[in-house]
């Protein structure tokens, strides 16, 4: 059985600006990997390469033994933003149903939202995903009425509704309170029992409590076990001294 994700000597640039250079990464099935690094270091670009949204300048990427473009339906993606304005007239149920698009339809998401006849299976999978993230009671709520933590759970449900084998999340706990952050990481730990997970995050404290390995991305990549990350590693990565905060202790 092929590994979950393999990247060999991958480089990517926007025009003349090199963003990622000679990236080598193996993510085994069942891993829960944290991606950390400074803003602009290339973390989100790395996710987009794995998802097949963009193509590498050089190198090779394999996802579940295939190229990214061949495997999209087996990947779940939680972006930093929902992809539409919070005040767009759409409720929670409709948002999660969007995750079923592309499964038997060639329509664009906006046309499908208003014209597609969703099947009984689509609705069953939608409510299954809502129950799994603990938000079934919010199904009829408008998206602009949700708290930050509730919104992130809905975006995770939208990614889960197609039953992915790999889940990729880009800053899923940005701009939410500490209790919601802890709850989301606990949810991801449960999901990791049946799927491979990659998480982009700046919160080293929470990451170290839930993942066993981190990849530090700042144009190039270095990998560490969570136990080996200390103030010296963080200083080398970010270029300055950073305070690492966890729910239990504070370290320099």
Tell me the per-residue pLDDT of 189-242, one tens digit each, with 9 for 90 and over. Answer: 999 999 999 999 877 766 777 887 888 899 999 887 666 666 566 666 555 544
Nearest alpha carbon to residue 4 among 38, 22, 31: 31
- Interacting residues of 233 by C-beta distance below 8 A, sequence separation 6+: 216, 224
In the chain, how many domains are there?
Answer: 1
Q: Give the range of the structural domain holding residue 158, as residue numbers without chain letter.
A: 5-251
Quote the pTM value.
0.84
Predicted pLDDT at 62 = 96
* 220-225 and 58-63 strand pairing: unpaired
pLDDT tens for residues 126-154? Answer: 999 999 999 999 999 999 899 989 999 99
pLDDT (average), residues 79-92: 76
Instruction: Give the CATH number, domain containing residue 162.
Output: 3.40.50.300
Going by C-alpha positions, the residue among 208, 144, 152, 139 that lies closest to residue 180 is 152
**Poorest-confidence range of 27-41, 110-124, 130-144?**
110-124
**Model confidence at 246: pLDDT above 70:** no
Residues 216, 64: Cα–Cα separation, whole Å = 23
Give pLDDT, residue 210: 85
Give the DSSP H/E element, type plus range, for residue 188. Answer: helix 178-191
User: Looking at the predicted structure, is the pLDDT value of residue 244 above 50?
Assistant: no
DSSP code at position 219: S
Bridge partners (DSSP) of residue 165 are none
| Cα–Cα distance measured from residue 71 to residue 6, given in angstroms and rounded to the nearest whole number | 13
């Amino acid at each position: 059985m092929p590994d979950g994700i393999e990247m060999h000597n991958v480089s990517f640039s926007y025009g003349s600006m090199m963003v990622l250079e000679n990236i080598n990464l193996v993510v085994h099935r069942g891993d829960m990997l944290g991606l950390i690094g400074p803003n602009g270091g290339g973390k989100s670009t790395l996710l987009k390469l794995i998802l097949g949204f963009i193509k590498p300048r050089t190198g090779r990427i394999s996802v579940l033994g295939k190229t990214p473009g061949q495997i999209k339906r087996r990947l779940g993606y939680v972006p930093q933003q929902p992809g539409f304005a919070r005040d767009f007239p759409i409720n929670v149920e409709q948002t999660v149903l969007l995750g079923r698009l592309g499964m038997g339809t060639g329509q664009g998401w906006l046309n499908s939202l208003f014209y597609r006849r969703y099947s009984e299976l689509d609705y069953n999978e939608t409510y299954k995903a809502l129950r799994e993230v603990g938000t079934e009671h919010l199904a009829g709520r408008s998206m602009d009425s949700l708290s930050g933590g509730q919104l992130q759970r809905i975006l995770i449900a939208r990614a889960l509704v197609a039953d992915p084998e790999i889940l990729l999340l880009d800053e899923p706990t940005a701009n939410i309170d500490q209790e919601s952050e802890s709850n989301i990481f606990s949810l991801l730990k449960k999901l990791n029992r049946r799927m491979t997970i990659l998480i982009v995050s700046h919160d080293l404290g929470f990451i170290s409590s839930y993942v066993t390995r981190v990849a530090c991305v700042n144009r190039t990549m270095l990998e560490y076990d969570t136990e080996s990350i200390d103030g010296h590693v963080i200083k080398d990565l970010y270029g300055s001294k950073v305070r690492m905060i966890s729910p239990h202790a504070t370290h320099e």
